[in-house]
C-alpha cells in the first residue's frame, strides 16, 4: 500500500487556511474571506483530483472493503492507534459535498459577517476540516477525535454570530443545547467503541487496537458468541449517531440551532453535519453489527416514520422560515433510516443520492433565508408577502429549491426518494407505503412557504424597506451552482451511482462476505465455553 498524501491534505488545508484567516484579520478585514474561499476551492480541487486519479469500482464479494486511496502512519503504537485515512466511493462523494458546500458557506457569509471576520472563518473552516476527517478516518480513535472536534467550532459559530430566535431564545442557549446533546451522544457512542476495543483485547490476548478491521472482526465474533452484549454496544453507537441525524425523539437541539445560527452555520448544519451521522451508521454500525441491526430494524424504521410525520406536521405549523426548514430536515431524515435498515443495494444507492441532493437543496434554502432576512429584516412569514413582484430572481430560485425539497421529478431529491421507496418495498411494504404518503405533507408545507413569502400583497410593515434590492451577481452565482448540481443529480444520477456502487454493495453483503472467515473463530470460542461449563458441572 502506498500512502496517498492528498488525503491528509484534504484535512490540513482547511485547518491551515482557517488559522491564516485568524492571523491576517488584524491586517485587513477582507483578506480572511479570500483566504477561506481559496482554501475551500483547493480542497474541492484536490477532491476532484483524487476522484479522477483512482478507481472506485471493485469486484463483488471481497472479504474486506477495497479503498481507492489510503494513508497509514502509526500514531500511538502502544495503544494500537494509527492515522489511517481511506477513501472509497461513499466517502469520496461525501468529501466532495463538504468541499462544495464549504465554498458556498464562505460565499454566503461574504457580506453577512462584519465582526471578528478572521475568527469566524477559523471556526467555519475548522468545522469543515473536522467533517472531512470524519468522512475519511478509518481508525476508530481518529474518527472519534474528529467527531468531537468538529462540534466546538460550530458551538462558537452559533454562540458568537447567531441571531435571536423567533421565541426570543438566545443564541448562547441554542449553542449550549446543541453542544450538550451532541456531547452526551458522543459519550454514549464512546462506550460502544471502548466496549469493542476491550472485547478485541480479550480475543487477541492483550493486544489493544482501534483498527477498523480488528474491531469489525471483534464485533462479528461478539454477535456469534454474546449477541446480547453486541446488541447493547450497537444501541450505544446508534444513539451516538441518531442524535446528530437527528432521529425523533432526539431532535430537540436542531430547530433552535438552525433558527439562531448564522447562514453559513445553517449551511454547515443542514448540508453536511447531519450527513456525518448517516455516514457513521453506514460505515460502522451496519457492517459491524449486521445481525443486531437486523433485529433493531423495525424499531429504527418506526422511529423514522414517526420523525417523517412529526417533522412535516411541525414544519406545517411554523411561521419562522428557518425553523420550518429545520423541521423539514427532521422529516427527510426519516427516509434515511428507512433506507439504512431496508438493507438493499437500491435503498443504499437512493440514500447516497438523497444525502447529496438534500445537502445541496437545504443549503440553498438556508442561503436564501439569509438573503430574505438581509432585505426584509425578518424571517417571520406573516410579515412577508408580495416578494415575487419585487424580487423576481429571488422568487424564481426560492420556488426552484422548494420544488427540489418536496421531490419534484427532474431534480435530485426525487431520484433519492424514489430509489429508497423502490428498494425498501420488498422488505417493508407497509412502512414504505406510509413513507410515500408523507410526501403529500412535504408538498403542503412547501406550498405554504411559497404562498406566504412570495404571493399576496406586501405587508405594510415592510413598505419602509422599499424599493427592495434583488439578488446580486455573487448571490445568483451561489444559487446557480446549487441549481445545476440538483439538475445533474436529477437528470444524470448514474454518474454518482457508479462511484458509490462498489462501496454500497460491500456494505450490503458484509455479513456474508466475512462469515466464512469469522465463523471458525466463533465455533472455537463456543467450544471452549461449552468445555468450561462441562468441567464446572463435574
Using DSSP, state whether 82 is helix, strand or coil: strand
Q: Please report how many Cα atoms fall inside a 13 Å half-sphere around the Cα of residue 500, on the Cβ side.
A: 30
pLDDT of residue 513: 64
Using the structure block, give the residue that is written with the C-alpha cell 491576517: 24
The CA distance from 89 to 473, in Å, is: 34
C-alpha torsion angle, residues 49, 128, 301, 243 (rounded to 10): 160
Say if CB 235 and CB 299 are below 8 A apart.
Answer: no
Using the structure block, give the residue that is written with the C-alpha cell 500514531: 75
Q: How many CB atoms within 10 Å of residue 34?
A: 14
pLDDT of residue 142: 93
pLDDT of residue 483: 93
Q: Find the DSSP H helices in 64-170.
A: 89-108, 117-136, 140-149, 151-161
pLDDT of residue 169: 63
Q: How many CB atoms within 10 Å of residue 220?
A: 25
Helix 89-108 and helix 494-508: axis angle, to 10°?
A: 130
pLDDT of residue 57: 72
Say if CB 351 and CB 500 are below 8 A apart.
Answer: no
All cell numbers assigned to 166: 423567533
**CA distance to 77, 85, 130, per residue, from 71 (Å):** 16, 5, 17
Which residues of the chain have a pLDDT value below 70? Answer: 1, 59-63, 164-169, 456, 458-467, 513-519, 521-523, 525-526, 528-538
pLDDT of residue 14: 94
pLDDT tens for each residue of 494-505: 999 988 888 888
pLDDT tens for each residue of 403-420: 898 888 888 889 999 999
Pick from 511, 133, 499: which is nearest to 352 by CA? 499
Using DSSP, state whether 380 is helix, strand or coil: strand
The CA-CA-CA angle for residues 350, 69, 127, to 5°, reads: 70
Helix 212-225 and helix 510-537: axis angle, to 10°?
A: 50
Using the structure block, give the residue that is written with the C-alpha cell 482557517: 18
pLDDT of residue 351: 92
Sign of the Cα torsion 122, 123, 128, 131 reads positive
Amino acid at each position: 500500500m502506498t500512502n496517498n498524501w492528498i488525503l491528509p491534505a484534504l484535512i490540513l488545508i482547511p485547518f491551515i487556511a482557517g488559522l491564516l484567516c485568524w492571523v491576517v484579520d488584524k491586517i485587513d478585514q477582507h483578506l480572511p474571506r479570500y483566504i477561506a474561499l481559496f482554501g475551500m476551492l483547493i480542497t474541492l480541487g484536490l477532491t476532484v483530483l483524487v476522484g479522477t486519479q483512482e478507481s472506485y469500482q471493485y469486484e463483488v464479494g471481497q472479504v474486506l472493503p477495497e479503498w481507492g486511496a489510503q494513508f497509514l502512519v502509526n500514531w500511538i503504537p502502544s495503544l494500537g492507534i494509527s492515522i489511517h485515512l481511506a477513501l472509497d466511493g461513499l466517502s469520496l462523494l461525501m468529501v466532495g459535498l463538504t468541499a462544495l458546500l464549504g465554498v458556498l458557506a464562505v460565499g454566503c457569509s461574504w457580506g453577512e459577517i462584519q465582526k471578528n471576520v478572521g475568527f469566524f472563518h477559523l471556526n467555519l473552516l475548522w468545522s469543515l476540516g473536522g467533517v472531512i476527517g470524519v468522512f475519511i478516518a478509518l481508525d476508530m480513535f481518529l474518527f472519534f477525535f474528529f467527531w468531537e472536534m468538529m462540534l466546538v467550532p460550530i458551538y462558537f459559530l452559533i454562540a458568537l454570530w447567531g441571531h435571536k430566535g423567533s421565541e426570543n431564545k438566545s443564541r448562547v442557549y441554542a449553542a449550549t443545547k446543541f453542544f450538550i446533546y451532541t456531547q452526551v451522544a458522543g459519550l454514549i457512542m464512546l462506550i460502544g467503541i471502548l466496549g469493542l476495543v476491550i472485547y478485541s483485547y480479550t480475543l487477541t490476548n492483550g493486544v489493544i487496537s482501534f483498527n477498523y478491521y480488528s474491531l469489525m472482526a471483534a464485533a462479528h465474533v461478539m454477535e456469534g458468541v454474546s449477541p446480547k452484549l453486541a446488541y447493547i454496544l450497537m444501541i450505544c453507537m446508534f444513539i451516538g449517531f441518531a442524535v446528530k441525524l437527528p432521529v425523533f425523539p432526539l431532535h430537540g437541539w436542531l430547530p433552535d440551532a438552525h433558527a439562531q445560527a448564522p447562514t453559513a452555520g445553517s449551511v454547515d448544519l443542514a448540508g453536511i453535519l447531519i450527513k456525518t451521522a448517516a455516514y457513521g451508521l453506514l460505515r460502522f454500525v451496519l457492517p459491524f453489527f449486521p445481525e443486531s441491526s437486523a433485529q433493531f430494524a423495525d424499531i429504527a424504521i418506526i422511529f423514522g416514520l414517526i420523525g417523517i410525520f412529526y417533522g412535516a406536521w411541525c414544519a406545517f405549523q411554523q411561521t419562522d422560515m428557518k425553523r420550518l426548514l429545520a423541521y423539514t430536515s427532521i422529516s427527510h431524515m426519516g427516509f434515511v433510516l428507512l433506507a439504512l435498515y431496508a438493507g438493499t443495494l437500491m435503498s443504499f444507492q437512493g440514500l447516497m443520492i438523497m444525502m447529496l441532493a438534500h445537502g445541496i437543496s437545504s443549503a440553498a434554502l438556508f442561503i436564501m433565508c439569509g438573503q430574505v432576512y438581509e432585505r426584509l429584516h425578518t424571517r417571520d412569514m406573516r410579515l412577508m408577502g408580495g416578494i415575487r413582484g419585487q424580487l423576481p430572481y429571488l422568487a424564481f430560485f426560492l420556488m426552484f429549491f422548494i420544488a427540489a425539497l418536496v421531490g419534484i421529478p427532474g431534480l435530485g431529491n426525487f431520484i433519492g426518494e424514489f430509489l429508497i421507496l423502490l428498494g425498501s418495498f420488498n422488505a417493508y411494504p407497509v412502512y414504505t407505503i406510509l413513507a410515500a404518503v408523507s410526501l403529500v405533507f412535504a408538498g403542503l408545507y412547501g406550498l405554504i412557504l411559497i404562498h406566504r413569502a412570495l404571493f399576496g400583497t406586501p405587508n405594510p410593515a415592510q413598505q419602509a424597506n422599499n424599493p427592495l434590492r434583488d439578488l446580486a451577481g455573487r448571490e445568483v452565482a451561489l444559487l446557480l451552482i446549487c441549481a445545476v448540481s440538483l439538475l445533474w443529480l436529477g437528470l444524470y444520477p448514474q454518474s454518482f451511482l457508479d462511484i458509490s456502487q462498489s462501496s454500497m454493495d460491500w456494505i450490503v453483503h458484509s455479513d456474508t462476505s466475512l462469515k466464512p472467515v469469522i465463523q471458525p473463530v466463533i465455533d472455537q470460542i463456543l467450544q471452549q465455553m461449552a468445555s468450561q461449563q462441562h468441567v464446572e458441572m463435574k
